[in-house]
Amino acid sequence: MNPDIKKQWVSALRSGKYRQGRKVLHSSYNTYCCLGVLCELARESGVEIDYVEGYEGAMPRIFYDNEAYELPPSVREWAGVEDSNPSVKVPSTFREIGEDGNVLMDTTSLAELNDDGATFEAIAQIIEEQL
């Protein structure tokens, strides 16, 4: 990931400017997934993104280049992120201890962390450490 954009993203997640939401990048109720915050930073930086408010099912949402759940290619390219929903490691839910005495780690995605209730602060820390 581009280190300068990573700093911007982490700072934005910690800023209090973005209200955290679940299940979509950006809802029409003005809530954001952690990935939606990165999409907004891309737009603010001048990346040309097709930004459309619409419905999919009953929930109004914002589409970024026709994506409502994962990072579109334009944002991934700008940020230097390979995956549309980056994977990270977190301690095992059950705090299992491996044979070496260390806590076992589970692989999850940033969107799953967001949707499972991790705060923007916790997600920002994981981004700093792992991306």
- 28-87 pLDDT, tens digit each: 999 999 999 999 999 999 999 999 999 877 778 999 999 999 999 999 999 999 999 999
| In contact, 80 and 42? CB cutoff 8 Å | no
**Domain ranges, residue 87:** 3-130
Q: Tokens representing 10?
A: 């982490």
The pTM (predicted TM-score) of the whole model is 0.91
Q: How many domains, in total, are found in the chain?
A: 1
- 75-102 pLDDT, tens digit each: 999 999 999 999 999 987 666 666 787 7
DSSP-derived pairing of the beta strands 31-32 and 19-20? parallel
SS3 97: strand
Q: Tokens representing 19?
A: 């209200």
Could you give the CA distance from residue 66 to residue 51 in angstroms, rounded to a whole number? 8
Could you give the CA distance from residue 6 to residue 21 in angstroms, rounded to a whole number? 20
Identify residue 106 by its one-letter amino acid code. Answer: D
Q: Tokens representing 24?
A: 């979509």
Average of pLDDT values for 89-118?
Answer: 83
Q: Tokens representing 52?
A: 């459309």
